[in-house]
Structure 1
Amino acid sequence: MNLCDERVIRAVLARHGFHFSKSLGQNFLREASVPQGIAEGAGLDENTCVLEVGPGLGCLTRELCVRAKKVVAVELDARLPAVLADTLSDMANFTLVQGDILKVDLSALTHEHFGASRAVACANLPYYITTPAITTLIESGCFAAITVMVQREVADRICAAPGSRDYSAFTVYINYHAQARKLLDVPRDCFIPAPNVDSAVVRLDLLAQPPVPIIDKAMFFRVVKAAFAQRRKTMRNCMNAAFGDKLTKEQMENCMIYAGIDPSARGETLSISQFAKLAEQFLV
């Protein structure tokens, strides 16, 4: 069954009386090269298990199943289990869990289904839960890699370099936890119904340790959040707004200088190493 063939898609939907849910951000793939590219880029082999978020009709799921040891999909829409039982009936290594990826106990789920096997996550995420879903997958500590399809602008932010317009606090968060790279672009006409934006697939390879020494994680991210709170403001102004109740302007300037940061620079120009050095200075 070619689940990326529009005629097949419409036949499956009609057979099950299924209608797309705008509130769930449902858009199903109809270009076969996309799920193939995602599965090939996800780093799968016969010893790797996959957690898939939002399997839809099972288009990507089939590609994952033929490459991986086992695939467990988490699906929120209560209408889809019956559809997937139809479209994936021949996939013996597939298991469906109905639930909300933001609420599922990922540690318990992966332990139950994957045991000690290497685990990765793959997802075609609804755009309205992109950031919390990626954060949830990262913070679970369960996965060696996470491959996600997101809005193209989000992919640009994830993979941005310091000094670029797309560089953000979320970029720094990703860089703290993973090495990110874009695998492929996915035009909007690859979906049915077509969304209003283009997409891209990004792979995150999780790091065992942050890429630079971090003494206090909470302080590090407090500094990062403050630096991007007002993008057009200088570091001097951003840090004063966040830490002015604890440090004098002179003390803050000295901290930035000791960290090798120009107080007149903007946060979007700083590397993760510079943020780490500044956070360390604020702890002294």
Structure 2
Amino acid sequence: MSSSPAPDALLGPADVRELAAALGVRPTKQRGQNFVIDANTVRRIVRTAEVRPDDTVVEVGPGLGSLTLALLEVAERVTAVEIDDVLAAALPTTVAARMPERADRFTLVHSDAMQVTELPGPAPTALVANLPYNVAVPVLLHMLATFPSIERTLVMVQSEVADRLAATPGSKVYGVPSVKANWYAHVKRAGAIGRNVFWPAPNVDSGLVSLVRRTEPIATTASRSEVFAVVDAAFAQRRKTLRAALAGWAGSAAAAEEALVAAGVSPKARGESLTVEEFARIAEAAPRSQTAPAATTEEPDHQ
């Protein structure tokens, strides 16, 4: 085993600003970039994620490398997916300069995370990321769907998004992201992150969300796309009863009612009261003539 990284290997506020200045980087709103400038915060994220020495961790949106270096202190391998040309080009150099003894454990994939369908090296066992706020939910769902080997996930997202992802049925913020995340994993809030650990400081609070992959998938004969089509339809018009909301999906309100009754769900219920298992039962009871459109991992704007 190689020696431990030097205590000052992680990036502090001055290091982050120096790196950014050298690269001519200004964080952009378009890509939701806010760089973490506090070493204690990234170490806390790694601890909360329960990263192990045998883990292959995939990180999305590594930016200047604050969290990347903290992950490399612990994990066997780290694969970072970065869309930004300048940041992607610079990160391997930063890792080699600050943590030379572990540079061979690091791989950079220069790509849009939403387009990634395979990763080099061993299959990832964990996903740890400070996700760009504007694409957090679709990226998270895409990674969980694409890499079933990911057992544990810890993402830092906007606090409101963290609340939605971890919401349970009956909650005011329970919706499409909550149900779809729960299809893959057991989801919970795992802490809050203050604004002052970022540069630039965002206008919103951040939260950590832990997702532990289900050891047994949801027991259903319906496919994921069939279940997600029901979820999308149920929340497209939140104030409607399921009988009305699922009319388009089923072909008519009467057909929707029939499917709901067959699934043991009240036609007068609303989507926000249903568990992922109940959505799966509705999908199973779909009218035979009904063909579910392919579900997307996009989060509707109104969610």
Task: Kindly state the Cα deviation for residue 3 of structure 1 after the two structures are TM-superposed.
Answer: 4.6
Cα distance change on mapping 1:252 and 1:21 into 2, 3 Å:
closer
Q: How does 1:173-252 map to 2 (within 5 A)?
A: 173-243=180-250, 245=251, 247=252, 249=254, 251-252=255-256
User: SS in structure 1 opposite 2:125?
Assistant: strand
**Matched AA of 2:13:** E
2:144 is matched with: 138
Identical amino acids, percent of aligned pairs: 36
Deviation at 1:149, TM superposition (A): 1.1
CA contact (8 A) 2:185 2:213 kept: yes
Count of matched residue positions in the alignment of Structure 1 and Structure 2: 275
For 1:166 and 1:16, locate their aligned partners in 2 and report how far apart those are by CA, in whole Å.
40
Any unmatched runs of 5+ in structure 1? Answer: none
2:122 maps to amino acid: F
1:273 alignment partner in structure 2 = 277
The aligned residue for residue 166 of structure 2 is 159
Q: Deviations over 1:165-192 (max 9, x none)?
A: 1111221111111111222111222211
Confirm whether residue 94 of structure 1 aligns to residue 67 of structure 2. no
**Match for 1:100: what amino acid?**
D
Equivalent of 2:72 in 45, 65, 71: 65
Structure 1 CA distance, aligned partners of 2:62 and 2:223? 38
3-state SS of paired residue (2:113): coil
- Aligned partner of 1:126 in structure 2 is 132
Which residue identity is paired with 1:278? I
Amino acid across the alignment from 1:130: A
Q: Match of 1:49?
A: 56
| TM-score (structure 2 length as normaliser) | 0.82
> In the aligned structure 1, how far is the partner of 2:91 from the partner of 2:284?
53
Q: Counterpart of 2:295? A: none
Root mean square deviation, CA, Å? 2.2
AA matched with 1:127: Y
Aligned equivalents of 2:111, 2:260: Cα separation in 1: 46
- What whole-Å deviation, never above 9, does each CA across 1:60-86 have from its counterpart, x for those lacking one? 111111111111212222222335513
Q: 1:87 to 1:157 in 2, by over 3 A?
A: same
231-240 vs 205-214, which moves further: 205-214
Structure 1 residues 180-209: Cα deviation after superposition (integer angstroms, max 9, x where no partner): 122211122221101121111112122254
Alignment CA distance shift 1:114-1:233 (3 Å): same
Q: In structure 2, what is the Cα distance between the partners aligned to 1:21 and 1:253?
A: 48
CA separation of 1:55/1:267 partners in 2, compared to 1, >3 Å: closer, same or farther?
same
The farther-off stretch of 160-169 and 179-188 is 179-188
Counterpart code for 1:231: R
If the length of structure 1 is used for normalisation, what is the TM-score? 0.87
Separation in 2, partners of 1:279, 1:125: 31
Of the structure 1 ranges 31-40 and 82-91, higher mean CA displacement relative to structure 2 is found in 82-91
Q: Secondary structure at the match of 2:285?
A: helix
Deviations 1:242-284 (A, max 9, x none): 32x3x562x4334323323222221101112222222222256
CA separation of 1:38 and 1:88: change in aligned 2, threshold 3 A: farther
**Distance across 2 between alignment mates of 1:232 and 1:192:** 39
